[in-house]
Chains A and B, each alone.
Chain A
Amino acid sequence: MALIGLAVLGCIGLFFGIGLALAAHKFAVEANPKVEEVLEVLAGAQ
């Protein structure tokens, strides 16, 4: 009983996890790496 529950929830999680990963891959937006670098250098108090 408990094992079935674990298996079912694990399957749901795996299914949606893979779905999200695929979606993120398909709808990837190329971000400018320089933005990150500049933010890194700045003080970042705000």
Chain B
Amino acid sequence: MKIPGRKYLLLNILVIFSLFLIGGCKPEHRFVKKTAFKDTNKIVIEFAGPVDEAWAKNRSSYTACEKPDPDIRLKIIDVSLSADKKKATLVFADDLNKNQPHVVTATQISSEGKSLGTAILNVKKFYLGYLFSILIGAMIINNFVFTKYLGLCVFFGVSQKKSTAVGMGITFTLVIVVSAMMSWFIYQFVLQPYRLDFLQIVVFIGLVSLSVQAVDTVLRKVNPLLFKAFGVYLVLVIANCIIIAVPLILADNAYNAWESLMLSLGAGLGFLIALFLMSSVRERLELANVPPTYRGLPIAFVLAGLFALSFLGFSGMSIF
């Protein structure tokens, strides 16, 4: 009887998730159906009905800017209208930075002689793609260990054996997701409304140790085998700097729940990848003839440097 219940729960979560994602792409004006980026320097606005050509083709009907910089107007060089007069394409003088949401204002939309008011439209990349790019960004492109040099003490401590490295990585991912979501919630709904932002570090550290303690308590009872396998690493998670860096980044960037989830998941998986790569090489290194002065930690640092150098190859990449 328990299993179908769980299935429905999963289904419900999926439905809510997809509803949210669809809701996330909705433009804000009733006469505008869709807005999207096109090519490198175009924005397409799709209207619900035909608009007047004289209005639509007039460049001064629109203003556009990046959301964080409302003072810097982007220069529109041309507007074209599709044959059914429902689709206007704005052409910009320069390439657009698609990583930033853009705000397009269409003043006094006129359709069949009637004015339909001014629309302020948010143009964003496909939301799922944006979430995915946060995940991959935190996991590989801006890997916390190899590009930000965070969490190094735990990284060098547990990367000697592959099995412990993977165990630590999985535990860490679990704890970072739980604690980052909790920190996000407390920051958004308690600290910010009461203007206690300056206490964020204290609160986040408390939440991290809380989630570690909670996972420890629950796991001890629910899955003793897994608990034994994690052993001392569960407590070691607290000593990792990534776990405190992620909530601070979330608070700085004002991410929403899904973006926070993706960033924390990416940070956790990125740490897992880093640990796995490092432990594989260090296991192999046991057989190598390393000069005595370099044996142990020094060669591990050299290795980490080489890894960081190769991860530099991912820098500046963007997906979607």
Cβ of A23 within 8 Å of any chain B Cβ, yes or no, is yes
What total of chain A residues lie within 8 Å of the partner, measured CB to CB?
Answer: 15
A35 nearest CB across to chain B (Å): 15
Whose C-beta in chain B lies nearest to the C-beta of A17? Answer: B210
User: Which residues from 156 to 193 on chain B have a C-beta closer than 8 Å to any C-beta of chain A?
Assistant: 186, 190
Whose C-beta in chain A lies nearest to the C-beta of B191? Answer: A8
Known contacts A27-B217, A29-B221; is A12 also within 8 Å of B194 by CB? Answer: no
Cβ of A41 within 8 Å of any chain B Cβ, yes or no, is no
Contact A20 B210 (CB under 8 A): yes
Interface of B is mostly: helix
Q: Which residues of A contact B207 (CB under 8 A)?
A: 16
Q: Which residues of B contact A24 (CB under 8 A)?
A: 217
Contact A12 B186 (CB under 8 A): yes
Contact B203 A12 (CB under 8 A): yes
Known contacts A5-B194, A8-B194, A12-B190; is A20 also within 8 Å of B199 by CB? Answer: no
Contact B214 A23 (CB under 8 A): yes
When the two chains form the complex, which single residue of B186, B194, B203, B220 contacts A29, counting CB atoms closer than 8 Å? B220
Cβ of B222 within 8 Å of any chain A Cβ, yes or no, is yes
When the two chains form the complex, which single residue of B186, B196, B213, B222 contacts A20, counting CB atoms closer than 8 Å? B213
Q: Which residues of A contact B214 (CB under 8 A)?
A: 19-20, 23
B225 nearest CB across to chain A (Å): 13
Contact B220 A27 (CB under 8 A): yes
Q: Which residues of A contact B199 (CB under 8 A)?
A: 5, 9
Task: Give the bracket for the number of chain B residues in contact with chain A.
Answer: 10 to 19
Q: Which residues of A contact B217 (CB under 8 A)?
A: 20, 23-24, 27
Q: Which residues of B contact A12 (CB under 8 A)?
A: 186, 190, 203, 206
Q: Which residues of B contact A38 (CB under 8 A)?
A: none
Q: Mark A5-34, 1 if CB is under 8 A from B, else 0.
A: 100110011001001100110011100000
Interface of A is mostly: helix
Whose C-beta in chain B lies nearest to the C-beta of A21? Answer: B217
A13–B218 Cα gap in the complex (Å)?
A: 20
Cβ of A42 within 8 Å of any chain B Cβ, yes or no, is no
A12–B73 Cα gap in the complex (Å)?
A: 44
Cβ of A45 within 8 Å of any chain B Cβ, yes or no, is no
Known contacts A20-B213, A20-B217, A27-B217; is A9 also within 8 Å of B196 by CB? Answer: yes
A9–B207 Cα gap in the complex (Å)?
A: 12
When the two chains form the complex, which single residue of B190, B221, B222 contacts A8, counting CB atoms closer than 8 Å? B190
Contact A5 B218 (CB under 8 A): no
Cβ of A39 within 8 Å of any chain B Cβ, yes or no, is no
Measured CB to CB, the residues of B under 8 A from A are 186, 190, 194-196, 199, 203, 206-207, 210, 213-214, 217-218, 220-222, 224
The 11 sampled A-B contact pairs (Cβ below 8 Å) are A5-B196, A8-B196, A9-B196, A9-B199, A12-B203, A16-B210, A24-B217, A27-B218, A27-B220, A27-B222, A29-B221
Measured CB to CB, the residues of A under 8 A from B are 1, 4-5, 8-9, 12-13, 16, 19-20, 23-24, 27-29
* Extra A-B contacts (15), CB below 8 Å, given A23-B218, A27-B220, A27-B222: A4-B194, A5-B196, A5-B199, A8-B190, A8-B194, A9-B196, A9-B199, A13-B206, A16-B206, A20-B210, A20-B213, A23-B217, A27-B221, A28-B221, A29-B220
